[in-house]
Structure 1
């Protein structure tokens, strides 16, 4: 197998996953000692844990004003919604783009658009199905308010789900990040909400597949109307 073919299947792993892979591997060794078929099941589980914590490099569009997806997954909701009050963004509805991540998606989260983190707010909550609309307010979440160099403010919220029980955030208030920089991770299935500034139209459709750090979800400086799509 060539190096290029190998790189297609073997991706870098986020450091947060190392201990989980080590635990899964240790359990696999014990299962092999007990009964070989169980060991092979453990091997499959270990490979899946490694796959879950993969952190592949992404090619991020860097033109000023382009906002990219913060997560791999599928656009599950696209509607006006009042952002979480703890972010201090707006009391009026903002356009919300929700990206649902299954347990098979890469779960490393990336900043949608370069800016300064003005607020980091954790909210303890429930663990409902992350695809539900009410998960935005009822579920455990961690939100970021971000101010761009142009003075525009937007929000991005990590939301826990049925399986996801741990939200990790790697940034703090006052940090300045570039578009596509890694800012967090959610373990084992979840959702990301993006709240767009007033007047900014989403350039994605419900059901569209998203690639974190690559798929453009909005253009802060553009005037293109909101898009519609259909399954083909």
Structure 2
């Protein structure tokens, strides 16, 4: 497989970077990681030249430049259609795309109330009431998928694009000790025990502690 470059932000705070990285690893694409610190003016200017939307992650591969997580997922699926990024069944594949698109475009209250921070664990955390409908909707999506496809992943025996897209949410639930159902808690542990997730968390914990808040994460 050809090498590619994946431009990332903080591994501790950047939920979008995590999604893009997991997608590349799911596809089996060999990547070189390039970290951009958005609080560095020179790096920010560089990123502006690379990507007009100033969004990470950004995948560069054989002349193609892709900087949206779902676009990355579709690009990788086109390259490697047989590695299992989406379910093989047509209806399940449509379902997977739908729930992945939903988390990609919505849940603003959840994102702002429970920002990703992989270095901390709260035993009790006040949750903004406006985030409750988002939490309930995530639980409903997960319950439907787990019931329909048997778990332990959202679409069966192996992780798919949907698990990569929802992985940061599972980590948020764990970080802030969000009260959830038993099935939701079990799925959060599935994500947390994922070898790829453990690799990412180890790298996140090695980062410097201070990072400015990034608008691009919301």
Could you tell me the TM-score, scaled by structure 2's length?
Answer: 0.25
Q: Higher helix fraction: Structure 1 or Structure 2?
A: 2
Q: Higher strand fraction: Structure 1 or Structure 2?
A: 1
